[in-house]
Chains A and B, each alone.
Chain A
Amino acid sequence: MQNLSLYLHIPFCIQKCAYCDFLSAPASDAVIDNYVDCLCKEIVAKAELYGQNVVDTIFIGGGTPSILSIHQMERINTTLQNHFVIASALEYSIEANPGTLNGEKLSCYRACGINRLSMGLQSANNDELKCLGRIHDYQSFLDNYTEARKCGFTNINVDLMSGLPGQTVQQYQDTLSKIVALQPNHISAYGLIIEENTPFYERYHNTNATSSLPSEEKERQMYYLCRELLSQAGYHQYEISNYAKTGYECKHNIGYWTGKNYLGMGLGASSMIHNTRWKNTESMVLYSSKATEKEEVIELSTKDQMEEFMFLGLRLTKGISCDEFKERFEQSVRSVYGEWLQKMEESGLIVWEQRIYLTKRGMDLANYVMTGFLL
Chain B
Amino acid sequence: MQEKIRNFCIIAHIDHGKSTLADRIIEKTGLLTQREMQEQILDNMDLERERGITIKSQAVRTIYKAKDGQEYIFNLIDTPGHVDFNYEVSRALAACDGAILVVDAAQGIEAQTLANVYLALDHDLEVFPVINKIDLPSAEPERVIEEIEDVIGIEARGCPLISAKNGIGIEEVLESVVAKIPSPKGNADNSLQALIFDSIYDSYKGVIVFVRVMEGRVSKGTQMKMMATKAVADVVEVGYFGAGQFIPCEELTAGMVGYITASIKNVKDTAVGDTVTDALRPCEHPLPGYKKVQSMVYCGLYPADGAKYPDLRDALEKLQLNDASLFYEAETSVALGFGFRCGFLGLLHLEVIQERLEREYNLDLVTTAPSVIYHVYKTNGEKVVLTNPTNLPDPSEIDYMEEPIVRAEIMVTKDYIGSIMELCQERRGRYLSMDYIEANRALLKYELPLNEIIYDFFDALKSRSKGYASFDYDMKGYERSELVKLDILINREEVDALSFIVHSASAYERGRRMCEKLKDEIPRQLFEIPIQAAVGGKVIARETVKAVRKDVLAKCYGGDITRKKKLLEKQKEGKKRMRQVGNVEIPQKAFMSVLKLDDDK
Contacts and interface: CB of A to CB of B under 8 A. Distances in A.
B555 interface: yes
Contact of A311 (B526, B558, B562, B568): B568
A308 B548 CA distance: 25
A322 B555 CA distance: 26
A38 interface: no
A193 B553 contact: yes
A365 B548 contact: yes
A7 interface: yes
A262 interface: yes
Nearest to A188: B556
Contact of B555 (A241, A311, A365, A370): A241
Contact of B561 (A223, A240, A312): A312
Contacts of A277: 561-562
Contacts of B555: 190-191, 193, 241
Interface string A341-372: 00000010000000000000001111110110
A256 B560 CA distance: 9
A220 B549 contact: yes
B569 A374 contact: yes
B336 to A, nearest CB: 23
B552 A365 contact: yes
B292 interface: no
B435 interface: no
A256 B558 contact: yes
A191 B561 CA distance: 19
Interface in A251-280: 253, 256, 262, 264, 269-272, 277, 279
B520 to A, nearest CB: 10
A269 B561 CA distance: 11
Contacts of B552: 191, 240, 363-367
Given A363-B552, A367-B551, A367-B553, A307 B561 contact: no
A132 to B, nearest CB: 14
Interface residues of A, number: 39
Interface string B547-579: 011111111101111101101110110010000
B564 to A, nearest CB: 7
A312 B568 CA distance: 12
A327 interface: no
A302 B514 CA distance: 47
A374 B562 contact: no
Contacts of A311: 564-565, 568
Contact of A190 (B554, B559, B565, B571): B554
B572 A366 contact: no
A191 B568 contact: no
A298 B562 CA distance: 9
B551 A365 contact: yes
Given A264-B559, A279-B562, A223 B572 contact: no
Contact of B553 (A188, A279, A298, A366): A366
Nearest to A304: B565
B551 A307 contact: no
A29 interface: no
A226 to B, nearest CB: 10
A219 interface: yes
B571 A367 contact: yes
A296 interface: yes
Contacts of B554: 190-191, 193, 223, 240-241
A241 B569 CA distance: 21
A272 B575 contact: no
A133 interface: no
Contact of A219 (B550, B560, B567, B569): B550
A190 B553 CA distance: 9
Contacts of B551: 364-368
A240 B567 CA distance: 17
Contacts of A330: none
Given A191-B555, A240-B554, A241-B556, A216 B549 contact: yes
B491 to A, nearest CB: 15
B568 A270 contact: no
Contact of A347 (B526, B549, B556, B565): B526
Contacts of B549: 216-217, 219-220, 364
B556 A253 contact: yes
B584 to A, nearest CB: 14
A95 to B, nearest CB: 10
Contacts of A241: 554-556
A26 interface: no
B572 A374 contact: yes
Interface string A219-262: 11001000000000000000011000000000001001000001
A270 B558 contact: yes
A256 B568 contact: no
A271 to B, nearest CB: 7
Contacts of B567: 367
22 contacts: A7-B558, A7-B559, A190-B555, A193-B553, A193-B555, A216-B548, A216-B549, A219-B549, A220-B549, A240-B552, A240-B553, A272-B559, A272-B561, A312-B561, A312-B564, A365-B526, A365-B550, A365-B551, A366-B551, A367-B567, A367-B568, A374-B569
Interface of B: 526, 548-556, 558-562, 564-565, 567-569, 571-572, 575
Given A7-B558, A279-B562, 8 more contacts: A7-B559, A193-B553, A220-B549, A311-B564, A364-B549, A364-B550, A365-B550, A367-B567
